[in-house]
Structure 1
Amino acid sequence: MASYPKSGNTWCRVFITELRRLAGLNSAEATAAAQQEEQELRLNGDLATGSIVSSRHWLDDQLGIDSSDLSWAELDKVRGRAGHQQALYSECLRYHKVHDAFVSPDSGVRPVVPVEGCRGAVVVMRHPADVAVSLSHYFSWPLERCVAFLLDEQAGLFRSTKRGAQQVRQFMGTWANHVHSWLDQEQIPILMLRYEDLLAEPQLQFSRLARFLELPEEPELITEAVRNTSFQTLQAKEEKEGGFSERPDGCERFFRSGRSGEGKEELTAEQLVQLEEAFASILTRCRYQISGT
């Protein structure tokens, strides 16, 4: 499950968890007590999708190393080997979250993510102007910083040289670099989903997601899973459960808006032009309208 941050990755993972719950897949090996607890989606329960691939604990376990002994450059060269010693995807299908670009300047041509045994990647994308607004609320950054981040060729998450964090550095580069790195690689199949299409055609788009991930795709299951993971429902659950575990300090709500078009409402005309001029080619390729065209 690959995406630039704040593009709909978590929404898709919650949908996968709910679809699996409705189909009885989450509780296939659960205890009777655990099955009783699964009568409805628990937002702060473990999302049934596997670890984020930048998890330090997961990487250390998969690679058999202490990743804090390595620099980011050294680590990027070996991260793609996770799962080589034990088949990462063999026991059952897992759906790992990824914010990294497919390759980094330090990994060279080698992917940062494990591809051996991987059946494919879902690439979730969102208009960069809307991403900027969402990043602003998530990180408590001013919009100008978010726009600059999207345009930064060295942009990444957890870039500090202090290596004790729970996640390792995730290189992304510019928004366009990130998208190109996934769409243009030829090592694993991809399914591209646009956030805007998930909002406009949830039944169709989430059915495509289920089919690609080899999950049950009966229309009635998709309909119920879509209903149970609508933004209104997730907002209510976040409030009822006292927050969401993936919400950072300072962020009022994780499931904040669930709308498209906020970038055009909140960014300045100059900021919109900056993004559209820098990313015109990939925006057009991915069916986004360029202002004035």
Structure 2
Amino acid sequence: MAKGHKIVWIASYPKSGNTWVRLFLAAYLANTEELDPNEALKGTFNDAQRPVFDKLLKLDSKELEDDVVASLRLPYLSKLAESGDKDVIIKTHVLNANWHNAAMIPPSVTRRALYIIRHPFDVCVSFARHMGLSFDDAVKSMANPSFAIGSDLQIKQPLHTWSTHASSWLGASGFERMTIRYEDMSLRPYQTFANIINFMGMGVENDKIDRALASTDFDRLQAVEKEKGFLEASDKNDQGFFRSGKIGGFDGVLSKEQMARLAKDHQDMMERFGYGADGSVF
């Protein structure tokens, strides 16, 4: 990597606030209250984008076996890191571990990583709706060590279980890392996003934070999506990408049995982050 540029990861299990963080950062850098979320995301990278993967590596990945795709991970990420005139911010949902003997998050191309975690009850509801799954199937997927996502437009992304996904990032070494809770972004937005800005090395400016928070207010993002659509919306969900976003959205949606299964499957990690088996957040 002749330029010396590396990757800054915005990492999370799906439907945990990754898009919100990236839009906030875009609004902060643009210093605007009128961010167009679609235009903002056009200038960002997602490590799973198949068209980008194929273009940079000059191949057609649709027919490749998983082990071959995994073996191409490092050269692909190296090219992404070299693609700009500074470090590149990239979204990822992958497990931070080896997959088919290849590191999914190689320290050699990584500057730092921000990991976002959210109560698994709310993740389950949002993820099920985004993927077109039943809630029972979403609960099972979140406890499946072999679970992965992908599509015609996205290369396969290994997730493992919700708990193992989190622990893989919490135990990361070889680069700077910080973990934030989705709930703190919602309940304590100014301080939480100021901490994110500081971690990113962007320099905290109070007025810019205020404008970026206004620009990425959930109601505003919902309104923009209704008017213009949203690039990351799922074709399996007609309720919109910015559907609710509230803490406790699982209430009245998940059954007691589904909640109990999630709590049993992920007890240790939930306790570590103050997530109660009744859905509460401490």
Normalising by structure 1, we get a TM-score of: 0.84
Asked whether 1:193 is paired with 2:180, we answer: yes
Deviation at 1:66?
4.0
DSSP 3-state at the match of 2:180: strand
Deviation at 1:102?
1.1
Q: Which residue of 207, 217, 221 maps to 2:208?
A: 221
DSSP 3-state at the match of 1:284: helix
DSSP 3-state at the match of 2:86: coil
Distance in 2, matches of 1:49 and 1:279, equals 35
> Which residue matches 2:143?
151
Distance in 1, matches of 2:134 and 2:63, equals 35
Q: Which residue of 107, 121, 128 maps to 2:113?
A: 121
Distance in 1, matches of 2:105 and 2:214, equals 32
Distance in 2, matches of 1:86 and 1:113, equals 13
Q: Which residue of 236, 258, 278 maps to 2:265?
A: 278
Distance in 2, matches of 1:84 and 1:257, equals 36
> Which residue matches 1:11?
20
1:117-142 deviations in Å (ceiling 9; x for gaps): 42111111111110111012212322
1:213-236 deviations in Å (ceiling 9; x for gaps): 122421111111111101011111
Deviation at 1:74?
2.1
DSSP 3-state at the match of 1:170: strand
Deviation at 1:113?
3.1
DSSP 3-state at the match of 1:263: coil
> Which residue matches 1:168?
155
> Which residue matches 1:2?
11
Question: Which letter maps to 1:82?
Answer: Y
Deviation at 1:85?
6.1
DSSP 3-state at the match of 2:103: coil
The 8 Å contact of residues 154 and 172 in structure 1, kept in 2 or not, is answered as: yes
> Which residue matches 2:254?
267
Higher share in strand: 2
The 8 Å contact of residues 259 and 277 in structure 2, kept in 1 or not, is answered as: no
**Worse-matched range after superposition: 178-187 or 194-203:** 178-187
> Which residue matches 1:35?
none
Distance in 1, matches of 2:62 and 2:126, equals 31
Normalising by structure 2, we get a TM-score of: 0.87
The 8 Å contact of residues 119 and 279 in structure 2, kept in 1 or not, is answered as: no
Q: Which residue of 128, 132, 138 maps to 1:136?
A: 128
1:77-116 map, 5 Å: 77-84=71-78, 87-88=81-82, 91-107=85-101, 110-116=102-108
Higher-RCO chain (CA-CA 8 Å, sequence separation at least 6): 2
Question: Which letter maps to 1:247?
Answer: A
- The 1:284–1:86 alpha-carbon spacing in structure 2 relative to 1, beyond 3 Å, is closer
Q: Which residue of 44, 48, 51 maps to 2:38?
A: 44
Asked whether 1:287 is paired with 2:274, we answer: yes
1:251-286 deviations in Å (ceiling 9; x for gaps): 221101110112243211111111111111111122
Asked whether 1:246 is paired with 2:232, we answer: yes
Question: Which letter maps to 2:254?
Answer: L
Distance in 1, matches of 2:226 and 2:208, equals 25
- The 1:76–1:202 alpha-carbon spacing in structure 2 relative to 1, beyond 3 Å, is same
| CA-atom RMSD in angstroms | 2.4
**Worse-matched range after superposition: 55-64 or 124-133:** 55-64
Q: Which residue of 225, 230, 234 maps to 2:221?
A: 234
> Which residue matches 1:31?
none
Question: Which letter maps to 1:2?
Answer: A
Distance in 2, matches of 1:66 and 1:145, equals 31
Deviation at 1:292?
10
